[in-house]
A and B are shown apart, each in its own frame.
Chain A
Amino acid sequence: MRYSYYPGCSMDATGKQYGESIDAVAKALAVELIELDDWNCCGATAYMNVNEVLSFCLSARNLALVGDTGNGRTLVTACSACYTNLRKTEAYLAQFPEIKDKVGQALAEANMKYEGGVATKHFLQVLVEDVGLERIKASVKHPLTGLRVAPYYGCQIVRPYGIEDDADNPMMMEHFLEALGATPTQYAMKVMCCGGSLMGTREEVALRLCHNLLLCAQEAKADCIAVACPLCQMNLDAYQVAINKKYGTNFSLPIVYFTQLAGLAFGLKSDELGMQRCIVPATQIAARYA
């Protein structure tokens, strides 16, 4: 199994443990992720505030790069913002000729062109749909028995440009966690937004959203929250101290990537999965299943 892989900008920085655990899990499952050569930033939500066509051009350049690699026509990414931008660009190029025309003119400036046809997949989809839950189960060496996990999808991967799952009650992550031997909790907030970049521009709003998420997970008696997006992880993890301070709570919920949990279940080392990089300590979960 071989794919072009678009890591996105967070994987080397705030989402470092996400990148590390994706690499480790892919290797364990013999999924080849070939990093897209010379990829650029997807523009996140910031470029949409500046110029819509420009935002589409950034993703179209990345999609165009897939054409030359010989690694198939599927591009894998694991960040919700990257994923949404790539999928949205593909959809807009197909639906709106005037967008396609402008994007085409802009790409031509760098002697590039994109004719469409690249399918973007989230790494969670690759594991569940392509590798398959049977193989995931067969790869488990240390089942995560008794670990109660609140699955948190965040917003964009289940929205109009997202994964083909129920938008209000997706179950893909639950099925994945069950395959690892963990117990997904019933969790009403699993597709509620974390606030995204509002943490920078309207912090009090994002803090309240994250507070509500943590509260809901705690009430569901979760041992940790599993996430699939670097920004969700950072907001819930790095700001948990600030949330406790503001709301007088004492949350201590580790915010781990679904790939970190998979790695633990596959018997990979805690360090390889970047467990020590979580700010709310997650190493005790690792120790429990080592």
Chain B
Amino acid sequence: MRGVQETVLYEEAMDLKFLDEVYGIPGGDKIKDCIQCGTCSGSCPVSWAMEETPRQIFAMIRAGMRDKVLDSLTIWTCASCYQCAERCPQEIKITDIMYMLKRMAIREDRRRSRKARALSECFVNVVNRYGRNRETELMARFALITDPLGSVALAPVGMNLFTRGRLPLGGGKVRDIEGLRKIVAKAQELGGE
């Protein structure tokens, strides 16, 4: 019934520019072809853990419900498995739109974006330093930032990996790291969507 209650939306609460923002990613305008069939929600392996299903999110985007969408736990539940995009009869790039919503929420520092933001930032920092992801360093940094006490619970996993030689200290580095950093800087300047 939650969905039914939420359908009342006054015009002044709508952000009609929201849809234009979604149009901004390559292929983003396909969202106008959504027929609300629910194939995405039915295919999604994690829709049970979402607040709104993908189908509902798409209706909300088109209704200009910007804050509700960007504050929804739904976008942080998407595992990027592409099952929805594979099956969408209208060929909407659903996974990529989810990625875009995540980027918007992170940029706006939305309250539920913090953990995923922390993971992305740790990842980007490690890769900017070495050009490669040193998994041991990534896991350690992420655990320290998000949950220093909880990382004790993660310790057995780390220890099991470590004793089997699967969490090495150190790791590879890109030789032309300066070149890579220039590429990264330019890409960030040019930006996406």
A residues with a Cβ closer than 8 A to B are: 9-10, 12-17, 38-41, 43-54, 57-58, 61, 84, 92, 95-96, 98-99, 102-103, 105-112, 155-156, 158-161, 167, 191-193, 195-198, 200-202, 204-206, 208-209, 234, 238-239, 241-242, 276-279
Name the distance in Å between A19's Cβ and chain B's nearest Cβ: 11
- Per DSSP, chain A at the interface is helix
CB–CB A45/B49 < 8 A: no
In the assembled complex, 21 residue pairs joining A and B whose CB atoms fall closer than 8 Å, in A order, are: A9-B134, A40-B132, A49-B102, A49-B106, A52-B103, A52-B192, A84-B82, A95-B26, A112-B179, A159-B83, A160-B82, A160-B85, A196-B79, A196-B80, A197-B119, A201-B115, A204-B49, A208-B49, A239-B157, A241-B157, A277-B165
CB–CB A279/B77 < 8 A: no
B residues with a Cβ closer than 8 A to A are: 25-27, 45-46, 49, 76-77, 79-83, 85-87, 96, 99-100, 102-103, 106, 115-117, 119-120, 123-124, 127, 131-136, 142, 156-157, 160-161, 164-168, 171-172, 174-176, 179-180, 182-188, 190-193
CB < 8 Å neighbour of A202 from B27, B76, B133, B161: B76
* Residues in chain B near residue A52, CB distance under 8 A: 25, 96, 99-100, 103, 192-193
* Residues in chain B near residue A39, CB distance under 8 A: 174
Q: Besides A14-B167, A277-B166, 4 other CB < 8 A contacts?
A: A47-B123, A105-B190, A155-B82, A200-B142
Q: How far is the CA of A14 from the CA of B77 in the complex (A)?
A: 24
CB–CB A193/B79 < 8 A: yes
Name the distance in Å between B158's Cβ and chain A's nearest Cβ: 9
* Residues in chain A near residue B190, CB distance under 8 A: 53, 102, 105-106
